């Protein structure tokens, strides 16, 4: 079984308190996500890292404050989530929350040739949901790492996890995936 780790939107604008669209508590995930990415690299597991990449006048900014604008500091991934020692970390730029069923995302998934996807990052009720749902709809095995995701609205996040589980996703932990430090 070939596995791919999916690191969703671990960018400065979401993950740190001074970020433009900070997800409360997301900074506490950084060591866990870094550990998952190091584990993947150490075991030669490809990592698909999604990143928001918005234009300055992106239509999404009518819903959300401007964030992850191309070329800004906030668009960068958090230190520790980028892996230098292993060249199989692929960064997938996206402009929309609803990317998980799009042709470019699914083409990248097919190119990787995996059947098991370990999903983590932010935000549970938006981009994590989109990635996991798209993978499930494509018939892939999905494992959502519950201690490596964060929600803006905890109730909405819990509902999404319940829906993903009902759709066939496995809910797991970073320890179950990567062991302890």
- Give per-residue pLDDT as tens, 140-169: 999 999 999 999 999 999 999 999 999 999
Per-residue pLDDT at 102 = 84
- Structure-token pair, residue 124: 């549970």
Number of independent structural domains in the chain: 1
Per-residue pLDDT at 27 = 97
Which of 2-6, 100-104, 116-120, 170-174 has the lowest average pLDDT? 100-104
Position 181 confidence tier, pLDDT thresholds 50, 70, 90: low
Higher pLDDT, 160 or 110: 160
For 54-63, what is the mean pLDDT? 94
**Distance in angstroms (rounded) separating the CA atoms of residues 107 and 144:** 21
**Distance in angstroms (rounded) separating the CA atoms of residues 23 and 82:** 20
Q: ω into residue 123 within 30 of 0, thus cis?
A: yes
Asked if the model's pLDDT at residue 119 lies above 80, the reply is yes
CATH number of the domain at 95, please: 3.40.50.850
Closest CA to 138 of 103, 171, 162: 103
**Distance in angstroms (rounded) separating the CA atoms of residues 159 and 19:** 26
Mean pLDDT of the chain: 93
Number of H helices, E strands in the chain: 6, 6
Asked if the model's pLDDT at residue 40 lies above 80, the reply is yes
Decide: 51 and 68 in contact? Cβ < 8 Å.
yes
Q: Residue 14 to residues 33, 45, 49, 70, 90: CA-CA distances in angstroms?
A: 14, 25, 14, 14, 20
Asked if the model's pLDDT at residue 107 lies above 90, the reply is no
Per-residue pLDDT at 111 = 87
Per-residue pLDDT at 88 = 82
Domain that holds residue 25: 3-178
Query: 């979401």: which residue's tokens?
Result: 14
């Amino acid at each position: 079984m070939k596995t791919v780790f999916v690191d969703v939107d671990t960018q400065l604008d979401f993950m740190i308190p001074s970020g433009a669209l900070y997800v409360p508590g997301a900074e506490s995930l950084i060591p866990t996500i870094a550990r998952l990415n190091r584990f993947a690299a150490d075991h030669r597991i490809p990592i698909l890292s999604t990143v928001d990449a918005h234009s300055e006048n992106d239509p999404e900014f009518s819903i959300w404050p401007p964030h992850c604008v191309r070329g800004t500091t906030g668009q960068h991934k958090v230190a520790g989530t980028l892996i230098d020692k292993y060249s199989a970390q692929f960064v997938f730029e996206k402009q929309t929350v609803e990317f998980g069923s799009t042709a470019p995302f699914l083409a990248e998934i097919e190119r990787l040739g995996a059947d098991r996807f370990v999903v983590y990052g932010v935000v549970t009720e938006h981009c994590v949901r989109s990635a996991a749902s798209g993978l499930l709809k494509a018939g892939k095995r999905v494992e959502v790492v519950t201690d490596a995701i964060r929600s803006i609205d905890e109730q909405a996040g819990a509902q999404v996890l319940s829906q993903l589980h009902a759709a066939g996703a496995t809910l797991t932990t970073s320890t179950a995936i990567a062991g302890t430090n």
